[in-house]
Amino acid sequence: MSTPVRTPVANATCRVKFRDERPRGQTPPSEKPSERVPGVARLLALAHRIDGMIRSGELKDWAEAARLIGVTRARMTQIGNLLLLSPGIQEDVLTVAPTRAGCAVLTEHHLRAITISIHWREQDSAWMLNI
């Protein structure tokens, strides 16, 4: 009677799927809720980036940037108008602490009302009233 010889299989892989016992949408206790940079700060940074690309000649104009990003020219104008804010307000916007998702304290809508004024002193006064 012969005894079968078993040889080990090299580099064998196996996929295992574990069932998650948590209810949907509940984060595990070890994970912290994600913090996000406020959207208005990202838009202001984008405006500065596009402005720099136009000045350096990488982009022809704001209309070309709108086509590349996939937004309307009107929306690109709204984003570009954030550059009209006073330097102090821009600094405040860019240094806003990250927030939890869905908890925007500062919105672009607030800033649009401030950009109506062309004088930085008036903008700063309006900014102090909104804070």
Enumerate the domain spans of the chain: 36-130
Contact 79, 47 (CB under 8 A): yes
What is the end-to-end Cα distance of the chain in Å, rounded? Answer: 90
Residue 128: pLDDT band with limits 50, 70, 90: confident
pLDDT digits (tens, 9 = 90+) for 78-109: 999 999 999 999 999 998 877 776 666 788 88
- pLDDT at position 26 is 62
pTM for this predicted structure: 0.69
User: Residue 78 — left, alpha, or beta (φ > 0 → left; ψ -120 to 50 → alpha)?
Assistant: alpha
CA–CA dist 49, 2 (Å, integer): 76
